[in-house]
Amino acid sequence: MALLEIDSVTVRFGGLVALREVAFDVDEGQFISVIGPNGAGKTTLFNAIAGVIKPSSGRIRFQGREVQGSNPSHMSHLGVRRTFQVARPFASMTVRDNVRLAAAGRHVLQTARALGLRGRVRPLADRVDGLLETTGLTADARRKASELNIGGLRRLEIARALASEPKVLLLDEPAAGIGVDGLRPLAELIRGVHQRGLTVLLVEHYVGFALSLSDQVIVLDEGAIIAHGTPEHVRNDERVIAAYLGKAGGGQGDRPPAVPTGPDAPGER
Amino acid sequence: MSYMIVVGVTVVIYAILTVSLNIVVGYVGQPNLAQSAFFGIGAYFAAVFSTQHHTSFWLTIPLAFATAGIAGLVLGAISLRLREDFLAITTIGLNFVIVAVFQYVPFFGGAVGIYAIPLPSIAGHQFGNNAFLTVGLIMLAFVMAVSKYLEHTWFGASLTAIRDDQTAASSVGVPVASYKVIAFTLSAAFAGMAGSLYAPFLSAVTPTSFGFIESVIVLAMLIFGGLGTIRGAVLGAFILGALPEAFRFISNYRLLTFGAILVLMLRFQPVGLVGEGSVLVKLTRRATEELRRRRRKGTFDPPATAV
C-alpha cells in the first residue's frame, strides 16, 4: 500500500478546473517532483494534499485513511508537513521558537497540554537544536525570524516542516527567490533529509533543480498529468517539451535545463 | 482622598478590561470591539442576582465570570472564523445587540437598568471604597498573573503564531479556530468578572454604560499603552483613565482627546507607549545596559586620574 494515494482528484474554482482527475501514488521513501508551467495546478495539488482546500471530487488517502477535505492542522499531526512558496515565518518569534512550536506536536494540539509551561520539555529542546544544526540556523537561533534573509527564511521553512518528524514532506517551490548561490546548499539540505528516509514531494517551478533531486517526476499542464516517470524519461518526453515551449518537438537546447546554471536560476521572477 | 480612591477603582476596572482585551487583540491579533458588552454581561448578571436573589457578592464574581465567558464562547464560535476586518465589524454589531438586549429584556430591568444594588460585605462589614479598591487590585493582579502565565505556555506561543501568520500556524498543527475561541472566551470572562465589581461599586447599572463607545475607549487605552504587553495594557488604562480626572478640561472633551491621542499614537508610535520595540522601551533598555556596563567596567578598570 502506498503511503499517500491521490485518487482522481479534481479541483474546481467556479468554472475553472484547476486539477483534472489527477492520480498518482507516493511510496514510502520516494522523492517525487511535480513540475509544470505557471498555472498548471501545482500549488493547488499541494493545497489539496495539505488539507487547505477540499477536492471537488476524488479521494486522497494517507496510510490507507481518507483525508480529503481535512484541515491543515490535522494533516500536520498525521505527519504531512509543508513549506510555503512565499516564506511564512512567525515573524515576532525567534528562529528557535519558530521551530520549537512546530516541534511541539501534541503540546499544541491538546488544550490541556498546551496550558503547560514551554520551558520544561527537554527532549524537544535537543531535537530543535539538532534541527537548527542540520539546517544551518544555529547561529541565527536567537534572532527574530523577521531578521532572516531569503535564504535563512527558506531554511526556516524546512526546519519548521521537519520539526515534528513528519512522514511526508511537501516542499512548495523551496528554490523560489533564493538566488544561484543558495541553490546548491539547499539541494544538499533537501537531499540529506531524503536520504535519511523521509518521503518528499517537491513542487518546483524550476525544472533543473527538481530533476536533479528526484527519482520520479510528474508533469502537470492545465491541471492534468501529462507525463509521469523518471527524470530521464520526462526530460525526453515530447509532450513535456511542448508544454514548456508551447510547440511540438523543438531542437536540442530547447529542452528544460538539466543543471541549475546561469540566469535560468530561480529568482528570475 | 476618598475621591482619589473612587478614581482609583475606576482606573483599576479599566485596567482589568484592557489586560483581558489584550489576550484577544494583543496576543491573537483579532480585533474585538465588544469588550464593554462582555463587561456589561458580568455587571448585569451580578446586579440581577444580588438584587433579586440576594446572592452574596463573593458568589456573583464567579457567576459574572461564567456568564460573560459563556457569552464569549458562543459569540466567539460564531464570529471568529471571519477575517479580521469583518470580525471587527461583527464585534461592533455584537456590542449593539447586547446593549439592546439589556435595554429591551425585562429580566435586565429595561432602559432604566437595575438600581439599589446592595453593597458587598466582608465579615459583617459593608464595603467602603478602600475595600472596592482592594478587591479590584486583587482581580487585576489575578488577570495579569494569568496573562503572564499564558505567555509562557504552548498555548500562548500558539496564539502568537496565529497572530503572526494564521496559515503557517495551522500548517504546524496549531488548532487555529478553537484556540481563537478559547482566547476570546477567557478574555470575555475576565471582563465579566470586572463587571461584578463595577455593579455594586456604582450601585446601579444602565444599558448606556456598556455601549460601543466604551469598547472603543478600552481598545484605545490598550493601543495607547502598547498592544500585546501586560505593562502596556495597565499603563494605558492608568494614564487615559486618570487623565480626565487630573485635567478637568479633558473630561469635557474626553472622546475628542482620546481620538486625537489615538491618531497621533498610531501615526508616530504604533506599538504604543511601552509596547515591544517602542522608543521608551528601547531607551530604557539602552540606559540599563549602559549602567551595567559602566558598573562592570568600574570594578576592573578604574578611570585614569592623571595623564
DSSP chain A: --SEEEEEEEEEETTEEEEEEEEEEE-TT-EEEEE-STTSSHHHHHHHHTTSS--SEEEEEETTEE-TT--HHHHHHHTEEE--SS----TTSBHHHHHHHHH-THHHHSHHHHTSBGGG-HHHHHHHHHHHHHTT-GGGTTSBGGG--HHHHHHHHHHHHHTT--SEEEEE-TTTT--HHHHHHHHHHHHHHHHTT-EEEEE-S-HHHHHHH-SEEEEEETTEEEEEE-HHHHHT-HHHHHHHHSSS---TT-SPPSS--GGGSTT--
Q: Contacts of residue A131 in chain B, CB cutoff 8 Å?
A: none
With a cut of 50, say whether residue B50 has pLDDT above it. yes
Q: Which of A91, A104, A117 sits opposite B164 (nearest CB)?
A: A91
Residues A48 and A67: their CA atoms lie apart, in Å, by 10
Sort strands A16-26 and A4-13 into parallel, antiparallel or unpaired. Answer: antiparallel
pLDDT for the residue A255: 47
Please indicate if any CB of chain A lies within 8 Å of the CB of B171: yes
Q: Which range has highest mean pLDDT (A178-182, A217-221, B107-111, B232-236)?
A: B232-236
Q: B73 at the A interface (CB within 8 A)?
A: no
The residue-averaged pLDDT of B12-21 equals 97
What pLDDT is recorded for position A151? Answer: 86
Give the residue on B whose Cα is nearest the Cα of A104. Answer: B154
Partner-chain contact A88 B168, CB within 8 Å = yes
CA angle, A218 then A222 then A228, to 5°: 15
Answer whether residue A258 shows pLDDT above 50. Answer: no
Q: Is the pLDDT of residue B301 over 70?
A: no
- Mean pLDDT: which of A4-13, B78-87, B114-123 is highest? A4-13
- For A193-208, b/e burial (b = at least 16 CB within 10 A) is bbeeebbbbbbbbbbb
Collapsed DSSP state (helix, strand, coil) of residue B160: helix
- CA–CA min distance A98, chain B (Å): 8
Least confident interval from A161-165, B17-21, B168-172: A161-165
- What local confidence, expressed as pLDDT, does residue A194 receive? 92
Those residues whose C-beta lies under 8 Å from the C-beta of residue A234, and which sit 6 or more positions away, are A35, A211, A217, A219, A227, A228, A240
Q: What is the pLDDT of residue B245?
A: 80
Chain A residues within 8 Å of chain B (Cβ atoms): 50, 52, 71-73, 76-77, 81-82, 84, 88-93, 97, 100-102, 104-105, 107-109, 111, 113-119, 160-161, 163-164
- For the stretch B17-30, pLDDT in tens is 999 999 999 999 99
- Residue A260: which pLDDT band, with cuts at 50, 70 and 90? very low
**More confident site: B214 or A111:** B214
Q: How confident is the model at residue B48 (pLDDT cuts 50, 70, 90)?
A: very high
* Statement: residue A105 has pLDDT above 90: no
What confidence category does residue B149 fall into, taking pLDDT thresholds of 50, 70 and 90? very high
Least-confidence region, from A203-217, A252-266, B130-144, B194-208: A252-266
Please indicate whether, in this complex, the C-beta atoms of B174 and A108 are within 8 angstroms of each other: yes
Q: Provide mean pLDDT across the span A209-237.
A: 89
- If pLDDT is split at 50, 70 and 90, which confidence band does B174 have? very high
Predicted TM-score of the model (pTM)? 0.87
Shortest Cα–Cα distance, A88 to chain B (Å): 6
Euclidean distance between CA atoms A88 and A104, whole angstroms: 18
* Model confidence band, residue B56 (pLDDT cutoffs 50, 70, 90): very high
Please provide the average confidence, as pLDDT, over all residues in chain A.
85
Residues of B in contact with A93 (CB under 8 A): 157, 160-161, 164
Q: How confident is the model at residue A246 (pLDDT cuts 50, 70, 90)?
A: low
Q: Are A68 and A47 in contact (CB under 8 A)?
A: no
Given a cut of 70, is residue B117 above it in pLDDT?
A: yes
Q: Which whole number is the average pLDDT over B188-204? A: 96
Residues of B in contact with A72 (CB under 8 A): 167, 170-171
B164 touches chain A (CB under 8 A): yes
Q: Which residues of B touch A77 (CB under 8 A)?
A: 173
Confidence (pLDDT) at A269: 38
pLDDT average, residue stretch A205-216:
87
Report chain B's mean pLDDT, rounded to a whole number. Answer: 91
Q: Are A224 and A213 in contact (CB under 8 A)?
A: no
Residue B61 has pLDDT above 50, yes or no: yes
Positive or negative: CA dihedral A189, A192, A194, A198: negative
Per residue in B241-286, pLDDT tens?
988 887 777 777 878 888 888 888 888 888 998 988 888 999 999 9
